[in-house]
Amino acid sequence: MESRISAGCTECCHPERSFTLREDRPPKGGYTGQRSGSGLKIDATLGVSTPPVRIVAKRPSHGIWRNLVIKVGGEAGGLTIAVVGSWICVFVAGVFMRFTHLRMFAVLTGLLVVLPINKAVAADIDSMIDDALRRQSIPGVSAVVIDDHQVIYSAGRGLADIKTARPMTDRTVMYIGSLSKILTAVLALRQVERSALALTDMLDRQPPITMLQLITHQSGLPREGNFDYWFSGGFPDVPTLAAYVARAPLDFEPGRRTRYSNIGFAALGGLIAERANRDFEALLRTRVLEPLAMHDSGARGPAPGVASAYSPPGQLIPNSNRPFAGVGAKIAGRHLRIYHDANAMSPAFGAYSTASDMGRLLLFLLGQGGEDVLSGEMRTRMFKPVASNRGLGLRMESINGRPVARHGGWFAAYRSHLLLEPARGIGIVILANSDSASPEAIAEEVYQAIAR
């Protein structure tokens, strides 16, 4: 006979988060616990019944199980008990003892040690973000944090709109700036895996530029070209951008150096769309966003329900003599920033999303699900430096000697940052609605707190 207890997140149950109870007759009762960098490992032998029961379980360092479910079953059937917190779990264990064998009570009580809903972690992240709101003069921040391949935090703090006092949440839409490049890279690699494109495919120009050189910022194309869109608000359409890329003088020979280029990633989006004979926005939606259930995201604005974004208090960016385009009404000492359509530059910096949706992207990049979008092998390849410190759509660095991948974003006072440590299943996205924000600093502070 075998009885089983399994517990895990109902959205992403993972083998390391499933616990099996076997009546394997260990010699005597006992308990050991070992804490390591990856969490707490419990090995408990419960000698309270005949035969006794042994549990072996592992909890991540800062694990928070939302929608926790305990399933108890055996030969005669089973029972599912949903719990949302430690106190409810105590109550369930106490009641359940009245209707089953004593060993089940011991196991359910043991789960309180193995599977705590660690609300303190969420409170700590709230505190970090609240402190950043004050120090950096940010109206609002929306964030998602993943540890050990599961979401441990997804929330908004502060305001999405100062005038209406609309609160920021993890479902508040924000423009994500150059995090758009990650989505564009995923789409490009998807097309490669389906033989619709090859990394060796070239732009129709001389000297030739390959798709791989566009993804790794080795194209030689200028960062912004001869466009004045940051100040005029006039972003090029597809024909205008294509004509420019075909004749643009290069800053260096393709493949010889690495230099960040918005024009290069916009050209990559144009190449993807041209080969598929579809517009880029539709391709990204149907091939990447919808399969990943990123339903509140899009390749190009204007976005519905988007948060308002603002200049820093009493300041214009880059300066008051020649500020960036989109300076709007003054509200509480700040200027509201007015959105401009990024047009053909959208593959580089025009997408919008939410913290909740970006959490799904993080899980995907960390290898959870999404095989219909990209293979696990290709996702692993994204994190391997190809040129200088550039992976495929990501910047590879290290923090405290540990390899991480990251990317920043900015568009019309919306600032963002994505940080990943694939080896430990850590992912962080910070979205902020002010030019005074440093989402990179917030992301690093959160990372240091959960990775130590």
pLDDT at 376: 97
**pLDDT at residue 52 greater than cutoff 50:** no
Same domain, 287 and 144: yes
pLDDT at 8: 36
Same domain, 151 and 85: no
Average pLDDT, the chain: 82
Residue 307 token pair: 């948060």
Q: For 316-349, write each residue's pLDDT tens digit.
A: 999 999 999 999 999 999 999 999 999 999 999 9
| Boundary of a domain, candidates 64, 85, 114 | 114
Same domain, 234 and 299: yes
The distance from CA 279 to its chain's CA centroid, rounded to whole angstroms, is 25
**pLDDT at residue 163 greater than cutoff 80:** yes
| Boundary of a domain, candidates 114, 136, 154 | 114
Question: Torsion-angle region of residue 78: left (phi > 0), alpha (psi -120 to 50) or beta?
Answer: beta
177 vs 40, residue with greater confidence: 177
**pLDDT band for position 3 (cuts 50, 70, 90):** very low
CA distance 448 to 308: 30
Same domain, 99 and 136: no
Same domain, 288 and 157: yes
- Interhelix angle 102-114/86-96, nearest 10 degrees: 170
Same domain, 105 and 127: no
Q: What is the mean pLDDT of residues 106-127?
A: 63
Q: What is the mean pLDDT of residues 302-316?
A: 95
Same domain, 324 and 445: yes
Same domain, 194 and 85: no
Same domain, 203 and 350: yes
Same domain, 168 and 192: yes
Domain that holds residue 317: 122-451
Instruction: Check: CB of residue 397 under 8 Å from CB of residue 389.
Output: yes
Q: What is the mean pLDDT of residues 61-74?
A: 39
Q: For 367-413, write each residue's pLDDT tens digit.
A: 999 999 999 999 999 999 997 899 999 999 999 999 999 999 999 99
In Å, what is the CA distance from 276 to each residue of 266, 270, 282? 16, 10, 11
**pLDDT at residue 446 greater than cutoff 70:** yes
**pLDDT at residue 216 greater than cutoff 80:** yes
Q: What is the mean pLDDT of residues 202-216?
A: 96
| Boundary of a domain, candidates 114, 141, 163 | 114
CATH number where 353 lies: 3.40.710.10
* pTM of this structure: 0.78
pLDDT at 118: 52
Domain count, the chain: 2
Q: For 25-48, write each residue's pLDDT tens digit.
A: 343 444 344 444 444 444 444 434
pLDDT at 388: 82
Which residues are within 8 A (CB) of 142 and not within 5 positions of it... i.e. 6 or more apart? 155, 156, 157, 168, 169, 170, 172, 174, 307, 354, 355, 430, 431, 432
pLDDT at 429: 98
By DSSP bridging, strand 39-46 and strand 30-36 are: antiparallel
> Percentage of residues in the chain with pLDDT exceeding 90?
71
Same domain, 41 and 154: no
Same domain, 107 and 171: no
Q: Which of 49-53, 84-88, 99-103: highest mean pLDDT?
A: 99-103
